[in-house]
Structure 1
Amino acid sequence: MDTFPPRRPSSLLVASLIFLVAGAGVIVIAGPSLVSSGVPPASEAGSPIARTTSVAKAPPPAKAPLAGERAAPRGRAAATASPLYRVGALPRTGCRAGQIRAGDAASYRAFMTRVNRCLNQTWKTQFRKAKLPFSQPRLRFVTSRVSSPCGRWPTGAGGYYCSANRTMYIGVTRKTLKDAYGPNHAQFMAHEYAHHVQQLAGILPYYGQSAWKAKPSAKLALSRRLELQADCLAAAFLRGVAADLPVTRQHWNSMIQWIAANGDKTWPRNDHGKGRSQAYWMERGFSSGSPASCNTGLASARSVS
């Protein structure tokens, strides 16, 4: 499938019984749902990568805690007092992902597969420190709009996470392959992976349940807290692997400036957050490298506006 053209980024996060997508950036929801849209980081040339996350009803049962582990919190505590917030920064992980050659699908898949392995290693360590059960998500590269247990591939999406089978679907398209700058794609992968982290930690289920009977304005607010946290967690991971990718401070500053100025310009509804909010949470994650900086559950309404 194709991603949105430059400066038309897209991300959709849905926790629902059924969802339909009608047109670029227009979301029609059937049944109780949580909807959030997000803008991925700008590329070196300023054009962003589209991303989408879908969350369906009835995910697989959580992995049973082993000796010394504890079950993930439920309810509001999952979002506001997660053990992941209390065990320090993400570990500095060696992540020699190689390089993407423009137009070369094999190099793109190899790069993203290596980044996924780094994410597995990083988050497995963090969950172990928090004494929470951990399991890896599935990763699937596709060249067409495949369906999943979460429904049909959302229009305009570059990829998405489905909680029903805990799989990240990553599109391999001509437009995607035009951008060979690895850190942008790593941020994209880390964002989708962050939704898997939220699923395992009980954060994503809590927000989905909270949105069940919420008013439209409240659903948007819940969506912003979830999506902005994923941006922050992805940025915290990038901090830990910055030396190997590499991610320079100059590139990061350019990305933050672009997001702050443009992050909310394409969305008819404020379901992801204003550009300044996106930039704020990404900067918090990258500066600290710690999930403790990503606790949007306790954040003021203004910081997730």
Structure 2
Amino acid sequence: MRITLTALATCMVAGLLAPAPARAAPGVARPGLLDEMGGDVVPLACSIPPIRLGSVASLRSFHRAMAGCADHFWSARFAAAGLPYSPPEVTITTGDDSVCGSITGSGAQYCPDHRTIVIRIMKHDLRDPFRMNIAHSVAHEWGHHVQQLIGVLDAQAALYEPASDGARRLLSHRLEMQAECFAGVFYSATLKSIKPGISWEDWISAVRMADESDIHGKPRNLALWQDRGYKGGATGFCNTWTAPRGKVT
């Protein structure tokens, strides 16, 4: 999963996410925003259909159901915090082009300019439809949409544009780790409905052992943040922007 960064700019990420009474970031709703999007973990029942081996239609249905579930979950979290919310567009394709250009890598991406999640159905998903891995395409990219809505993408991009290559890499890692954590928060309420076919512990172990990505960072840290969101059940556990470098690289 990757994010396409285009011309976005406004404010500092750490100021946006720091709890009150920290300084407010210009153009952002209020400091401490992630903490305000918390609350008790209440299981959310979503109807997520089975996936038929080799069936593009059933994969489309699965992704659409996951999108409906994510929309339900996050709209409630935003409402509880008194924040405006709108869902992203969701495009599901078997091709390699999208509204934000060519689809590469994992086959899933978020296009900020269009507020669109693009999911490409991959051949390996047809051959081996591992539910949790496929579900994560939606959960992670929806995490980027949450970042867009609360101003994190704009803030990150303002820092990214003038930064050195090394600093850009770290900024990308912080962004991706937070999206992983947001996915974990979503799973805290919906995992039972997803019927992942794997225990949470085994899933996190699998994430930890995945291939390293230059954009996303070390798998062990991706697993750490996803697990942190899942066990915490609230976005307040997902402030990757003030975390030590060793926890996000």
Q: Same fold (TM over 0.5)?
A: yes
Q: Which has the higher helix share?
A: 2
Q: Does 1:56 align with 2:17?
A: no
Number of the residue aligned with 1:142: 93
Q: Contact 2:8 / 2:153 at 8 angstroms: preserved in 1?
A: no
Q: Does 1:183 align with 2:121?
A: no
134-143 vs 253-262, greater mean Cα deviation = 253-262
Count matched residues. Answer: 235
Report the Cα distance in structure 2 between the residues aligned to 1:181 and 1:154, rounded to whole angstroms. 21
Give the Å deviation of 1:88.
Answer: 1.8
Q: How does 1:98-247 map to 2 (within 5 A)?
A: 98-148=49-99, 150=100, 152-247=101-196
Report the Cα distance in structure 1 between the residues aligned to 2:53 and 2:144, rounded to whole angstroms. 28
Report the Cα distance in structure 1 between the residues aligned to 2:94 and 2:43, rounded to whole angstroms. 33
Give the Å deviation of 1:212.
Answer: 1.3
Report the Cα distance in structure 1 between the residues aligned to 2:122 and 2:217, rounded to whole angstroms. 28
Give the Å deviation of 1:93.
Answer: 1.7
Letter in 1 for 2:151: G
Report the Cα distance in structure 1 between the residues aligned to 2:94 and 2:209, rounded to whole angstroms. 32
Identity of aligned residues (%): 31
Report the Cα distance in structure 1 between the residues aligned to 2:16 and 2:181, rounded to whole angstroms. 17
Letter in 2 for 1:243: K
Letter in 1 for 2:134: H
Question: Normalising by structure 2, what TM-score?
Answer: 0.86
Q: Quickly say closer, same or farther: Cα 1:156–1:262, change in 2 above 3 A.
A: closer
Q: Quickly say closer, same or farther: Cα 1:262–1:244, change in 2 above 3 A.
A: closer
Q: Contact 1:139 / 1:167 at 8 angstroms: preserved in 2?
A: yes
Q: Match of 1:95, SS?
A: coil
Give the Å deviation of 1:155.
Answer: 3.0
Report the Cα distance in structure 2 between the residues aligned to 1:140 and 1:286, rounded to whole angstroms. 26
Q: Root-mean-square deviation (CA), in Å?
A: 2.1
Q: How does 1:71-90 map to 2 (within 5 A)?
A: 74-76=11-13, 77-80=15-18, 81-89=31-39
Structure 1: runs of 5 or more not aligned = 1-50, 60-72
Q: How does 1:21-36 map to 2 (within 5 A)?
A: none
Q: Quickly say closer, same or farther: Cα 1:283–1:202, change in 2 above 3 A.
A: same
Q: Quickly say closer, same or farther: Cα 1:138–1:82, change in 2 above 3 A.
A: farther
Q: Match of 1:94, SS?
A: coil
Q: Contact 1:238 / 1:247 at 8 angstroms: preserved in 2?
A: no
Q: Quickly say closer, same or farther: Cα 1:216–1:58, change in 2 above 3 A.
A: closer
Q: Contact 1:263 / 1:278 at 8 angstroms: preserved in 2?
A: no
Give the Å deviation of 1:292.
Answer: 1.1
Letter in 1 for 2:237: S
Report the Cα distance in structure 2 between the residues aligned to 1:100 and 1:210, rounded to whole angstroms. 41
Q: Does 1:285 align with 2:234?
A: no
Number of the residue aligned with 1:95: 46
Q: Match of 1:164, SS?
A: helix
Q: Contact 1:138 / 1:167 at 8 angstroms: preserved in 2?
A: yes
Q: Quickly say closer, same or farther: Cα 1:298–1:105, change in 2 above 3 A.
A: same
Report the Cα distance in structure 1 between the residues aligned to 2:220 and 2:188, rounded to whole angstroms. 20
Letter in 2 for 1:115: M
Q: Does 1:301 align with 2:245?
A: yes
Q: Does 1:254 align with 2:198?
A: no
Give the Å deviation of 1:74.
Answer: 4.8
Report the Cα distance in structure 1 between the residues aligned to 2:125 and 2:135, rounded to whole angstroms. 13
Report the Cα distance in structure 2 between the residues aligned to 1:226 and 1:111, rounded to whole angstroms. 26
Report the Cα distance in structure 1 between the residues aligned to 2:98 and 2:131, rounded to whole angstroms. 27
Q: Contact 1:79 / 1:202 at 8 angstroms: preserved in 2?
A: no
Q: Match of 1:169, SS?
A: strand
